[in-house]
Amino acid sequence: MTALIQIAGLHKSYGAFHALRGIDLEIAQGEVVVVVGPSGSGKSTLIRCINLLEAYQQGEVRVAGERVVRGKALSKVRAEVGMVFQSFNLFPHLSALSNVALGPLRVRGMSRRDAEARARALLDKVGLAEHADKLPGQLSGGQQQRVAIARALAMEPKVLLFDEPTSALDPEMVGEVLAVMQALAHTGVTMVIVTHEMGFARRVADRVIFMEDGVVVEQAPPEAFFGAPREARTQAFLQAILQH
């Protein structure tokens, strides 16, 4: 069976800075992949290339066999690839409900009634049923991020990308967001998660990928990755992170 996400020979530069230096990666349908690494290692850039929020100079990305390229087909691919951002990026002028319903309404062509019914069900799923009519500004960071997850889910995507979803949260709100993510894992949706939450990676990931300086240094199932990392650079990173 071919992989759901196929990344081959991916290179990306910001001017003189070479952010990605040849990434080859395949991710299977339903797999939960956690990408870790020091800041500036290119991990956020990598997942932003998957739905082409970041343009790249070389290589290719395929989702479900379709090349992800600019043009008419892009919004179709993006509808299959949900994304959750570090800073939530909810639409501040729309209620939580409308934030979640917008995609199904405009992209899937659902009726407003059906779209809102789906949005209500998803807000219920992330524990926010009673906050449906609030504006994002009236919600806590953790609640906003859960709305953002519901918004991504509303498209029933094949893939969910998480770009440091808990990094902008107060510590006491990290748990509620991770719990929602953990509940999603292994329900069929493929997840690619950039995070610094090592405990979460250990519990939930099928595979952990360690990136540094724009390359994949090591990848392994979590037991092997945390228990017996092979590469010296991985060992140094884990030591620095797990010490405190």
Partner 1 sequence: MDLITTFFNWPVFRDALPLLLEGLGITVLLGAVSIVAGFVSGLLMALLRLYGFMPLRVLARVYIDVFRSIPLLVLLVLVYYALPFVGVRLSSFAAAATALSMVSCAYTAEIFRAGIEAIPKGQFEAAGAIGLRFFDTMRDVVLPQALRIVTPPLTSNCINVLKDTALASVVAMPDLLKQATQAQALAANPTPLIGAALLYLVLLLPLVRLVGHFEGRHRAATQ
Residue ranges that bind partner 1, judged by CB under 8 A? 51, 53, 75-76, 78-79, 81-83, 85, 87, 89-94, 102-103, 106-107, 148, 151-152, 154-155
> Taking a C-beta distance cutoff of 8 angstroms, is the pair 80, 159 a contact?
yes
* Least distance to partner 1, CB of residue 18, Å: 23
* Least distance to partner 1, CB of residue 170, Å: 19
Alpha-carbon distance of 228 to 146, in angstroms, equals 34
In sequence order, what are the residues at sequence separation of 6 or more whose Cβ sits closer than 8 angstroms to the Cβ of residue 78?
Answer: 51, 52
* Least distance to partner 1, CB of residue 223, Å: 33
Q: In what order do the strands lie in the sheet with 215-220?
A: 81-84, 159-163, 190-194, 32-36, 207-212, 215-220
- For partner 1, the closer CB: 150 or 209: 150
Burial 79-105 (b: 16+ CB within 10 A, else e): bbbbbbbbebebeeeebbbbbbbbbbb
- For partner 1, the closer CB: 8 or 53: 53
* Least distance to partner 1, CB of residue 221, Å: 29
- For partner 1, the closer CB: 109 or 243: 109
* Least distance to partner 1, CB of residue 226, Å: 31
What single string gives the DSSP state of each residue in 139-157? S-HHHHHHHHHHHHHTT--
Q: Of 169, 192, 243, give the one whose Cα is nearest residue 36.
A: 192
- For partner 1, the closer CB: 35 or 81: 81
* Least distance to partner 1, CB of residue 50, Å: 11
- For partner 1, the closer CB: 134 or 202: 134
- For partner 1, the closer CB: 78 or 146: 78
Alpha-carbon distance of 107 to 173, in angstroms, equals 31
